[in-house]
Structures are given as structure tokens and as C-alpha cells.
Amino acid sequence: MKKILLVSSSKGFLKRNTTLLAGRELSVFTVSSGEEALKLHEELVFDLILSELELEGMDGSRLCSEVHMAKNSQLVPVILICYDRLDSIQRVEQSGANALILKPIDPIQLLETIGSFIDMQIGKSKRVVLNVKVITKKSELEFFCFSHDISNTGILLESEYQLSLGDKIVCAFNLDDTVQIEAAGEVIRCMSMNDGKNLYGVKFSAIPLSYRKAIDSYIDSLPSPSASKRSAISD
């Protein structure tokens, strides 16, 4: 069972988000300070830490830095939560946090973000149409794909190139005329269509914070496809 640590000086925050994560095959722990979080993490080694930026004593950015420097903890993802203020966002980015969630918190986004880091589907993905050319790399091989849609945690690709389940790839594509994304991912579903096309569901595995924020903003700006639209990512 995955272990999640929630860090906040607000009892309401801890209660709401413990309730949100309850019944999802997760073991949820709560503490009210960065010092307590670091001490408990040294004892238990959590699979993910979700912390508010503003804490009494050691703040969330310092906690994130300490966690990532701790022995055997380099791969532990830390998600920081703050208000949409430039100074706060800069502190989060400088801390090396794996993801940023802005207040007020969208529960669906929170579940999707947590799930993407602990390899579990604990929330319903919002998907939007994205029809762009994707430069795809597998090892030293580079080829083109075309995207059908994108979610917070993955992308659906069409390609003449044959991929297999578990293939690790890197995708580079434009969300619009100004934002270029490069994200590592893993093929988690392969489909051969009647027209001979190959479709691949790719789950993002490593996205820099700035790219993740751009994807989230793009998805939030568009409506989800209708239920009749075919979507094949199970991420």
C-alpha cells in the first residue's frame, strides 16, 4: 500500500484531503510542520509528500529540498501547494518540487496529480482534443506521431511506427504557437484499428514542473470531449 504524507498547519486542510484520499488503497499520514514531516519521512520513507508551501518553522520549499537531499529519498516526489502569487510560485520552482498545485485546490486535479506520481489511477482524468505533430524518440531513433487527445497524465498517439507495451519514449510537441513541451513517457496501451492505424496510450513519467503547469493550463482552458468520442488512454 502506497504511503502518502500530508503536511499543513491547517487542521481543515488535513481533514479534507485525508477524506478525499480515503478508500483509495492508500495509507495517509498527517503532520503539521516541516520538521515533523522530515522526521517521519526518515522513519517511514513515503511514496509521496503533499505539503503546503507556507508552514510554521521549516516551510514547504525547505522541506522539499531536505527530502530530495536525504539518503535513499531522491526519487520521492514532493507536491507543493500555494496561492497564485509570483513570489510563492518562484519559491516552489526553486525548491525542486515535482509539481505545483495552486489554491483553491481542484480535487480532481489533486487526485490526478498524486496518481500520476505513484502509478495509480485514483481520479478521473480530464482529456481534451489535441491534434498536433509529435516528434517521438525511442533510444536513438526519432520518428513522427500525431496526437488525438491529452490528459494531465498522458497522451494518445497515432503512429505508423510499431511500438510495444512498456516502451520508454520522449515526446516533443506544441500545445499552441508559443508553448513547446518535451515529456518522457511509457507506452501503456497499444491498439490496432480497422483502418490499419496504430494507436498508443502513453503515460507521462517525467515532466519538468513548468511543462506540467502548461499542460494543466491548456487542459483547463478547453472542454472535455463528449462521451461518444473514442479515448484509449488508461492512465
CATH at residue 193: 2.40.10.220
Distances (CA, A) of 121 to 17, 109, 169, 223, 235: 17, 12, 21, 21, 6
- SS3 state at 101: strand
What does the pLDDT read at residue 30?
A: 98
Give the torsion sign (CA, 102, 105, 108, 110): positive
Q: Give the total number of structural domains in the chain.
A: 2
What does the pLDDT read at residue 233?
A: 40
Domain membership of residue 229 (yes or no) is: no
Q: Which of 118, 144, 166 is the endpoint of a domain?
A: 118
41 and 85 fall within a common domain: yes
95 and 141 fall within a common domain: no
**CB-based contact 169:184 (threshold 8 Å):** yes
User: β-strand 48-52 against 2-7: which pairing, if any?
Assistant: parallel
Domain membership of residue 225 (yes or no) is: no
- SS3 state at 79: strand
CATH at residue 46: 3.40.50.2300
Q: Where are the alpha helices (DSSP H) in the chain?
A: 11-21, 34-44, 60-69, 86-95, 107-118, 209-220
Q: Which amino acid is at 160?
A: E
32 and 60 fall within a common domain: yes
87 and 144 fall within a common domain: no
29 and 49 fall within a common domain: yes
C-alpha cell at 123: 481520479
Region for 74 from its dihedrals, namely left if φ exceeds 0, alpha if ψ lies in -120 to 50, beta otherwise: alpha
110 and 33 fall within a common domain: yes
Residue-range definition of the domain harbouring residue 39: 2-118
13 and 109 fall within a common domain: yes
What does the pLDDT read at residue 159?
A: 92
- SS3 state at 43: helix
CA gap 125, 120 in Å, rounded: 12
> What's the first-to-final CA gap in the chain, in angstroms?
19
What does the pLDDT read at residue 231?
A: 41
Q: Which of 118, 140, 155 is the endpoint of a domain?
A: 118
48 and 23 fall within a common domain: yes
**CB-based contact 97:64 (threshold 8 Å):** yes
Q: Which of 62, 95, 118 is the endpoint of a domain?
A: 118
What does the pLDDT read at residue 78?
A: 94
What does the pLDDT read at residue 42?
A: 92
Mean pLDDT by 10 residues, the chain (235 residues): 96 95 91 97 94 96 92 78 92 89 86 82 76 95 95 90 90 90 89 80 83 86 56 41
What does the pLDDT read at residue 226?
A: 46
